[in-house]
Structure 1
Amino acid sequence: MTRVWIQPVLLVLCGSLIAAGQLSSGAPAAAAAILVVFVLLAGVNSPLVFPKSISAPEARRRSAADGRPVVYWRPGCGYCLRLRIRLGRGARRAHWVDIWRDPAGAAAVRAANDGNETVPTVVVAGRPHTNPDPAWVREQLSRPA
């Protein structure tokens, strides 16, 4: 669970160190701007940006019932973030599985990607799609079950 927060915490710490250096050299405005940028980067790379993750078996069960895609992701993944942002509010309709929190989810991603944990992997109707176009995923989310 703490592993997902490593990157955001490191971003805040690095930003704080750089801002402290700017502050000590007499540039408070630059220090504030740098700190704001690093805090925003930390927020965007945190699990807080993504819908609540569920377990892989639960996601598969829900997907079978409602026909919605299952999105396997991990914090700090730029491609996952791109997908999440491009889906907008529609992202909440998908079933999200954090592979760092769920070993079964990580295993499902490895099985779909020749042993690699390549994310985002989106499963629609039982077929995995690795790093699909966000417009395509949005289209899958808008389809009736």
Structure 2
Amino acid sequence: MRRWGLSIGLLVVAGLAVAFSSVITGAVFVVLAALTSPRAFPRSVSDASARELSAQDGRLIVYWRPGCPYCLRLRARVGPFARRAHWVDIWADPDGAASVRAVTGGDETVPTVVHHGEGFVNPAPARVLEMLTERPR
């Protein structure tokens, strides 16, 4: 039995490591699902609607597209403040894509943020968070 003690101990440790890594992997996927869920963020609006609303309330406009890792990073970073912006999905709204091309010089680089008429291409999430939390003019 002594000969098997080390082997059994290693198998138990390996089994626990596999079980623990499965729990961690599952938790990572739950967090990713929550971050990418359409219910976690405001519904996208059209470019025309976003421009009209932004003119009234002074909120910034964020142009994004599904599957963009930089957009996902931005959405995750701004978290609950995301509702303080108007989000335009450029794949769902051709006018939104045209607005992005006008800001970026011809390409559709997202996220593109428009704040008080000034465009920012792929801004740092911390900068967008500052814009979202600043006092209205």
Query: Structure 1 length normalisation: TM-score?
Result: 0.69
Q: Which moved more, 1:65-74 or 1:44-53?
A: 44-53
- Aligned residue pairs total 119
CA RMSD, Structure 1 to Structure 2 (Å):
2.3
Q: 1:136 to 1:30 in 2, by over 3 A?
A: closer
Q: Does 1:134 align with 2:117?
A: no
Superimposed CA distance per residue, residues 42-69 of structure 1 (whole angstroms, 9 cap, x where no aligned partner): 5644544431111101101111111111
Distance in 1 (CA, whole Å) between partners of 2:130 and 2:23 is: 41
Q: Does 1:87 align with 2:89?
A: no
Alignment of 1:1-145 (within 5 A): 41=32, 44-141=35-132, 142-145=134-137
Kindly indicate whether the alpha-carbon contact (under 8 Å) linking 2:101 and 2:108 is maintained by their aligned counterparts in 1: yes
Decide which structure has the larger Cα Rg and report it: 2
**For structure 1, which runs of at least 5 residues remain unmatched after alignment?**
1-28
Distance in 2 (CA, whole Å) between partners of 1:33 and 1:139 is: 32
Q: 1:32 to 1:134 in 2, by over 3 A?
A: closer
Distance in 1 (CA, whole Å) between partners of 2:27 and 2:114 is: 36
| DSSP-derived class of the 1:139 partner | helix
Deviation at 1:123, TM superposition (A): 0.1
Deviation at 1:41, TM superposition (A): 4.4
Distance in 2 (CA, whole Å) between partners of 1:89 and 1:40 is: 15
Deviation at 1:140, TM superposition (A): 1.3
**For structure 2, which runs of at least 5 residues remain unmatched after alignment?**
1-19
Deviation at 1:72, TM superposition (A): 0.3
Kindly indicate whether the alpha-carbon contact (under 8 Å) linking 2:35 and 2:76 is maintained by their aligned counterparts in 1: no
| DSSP-derived class of the 2:45 partner | coil
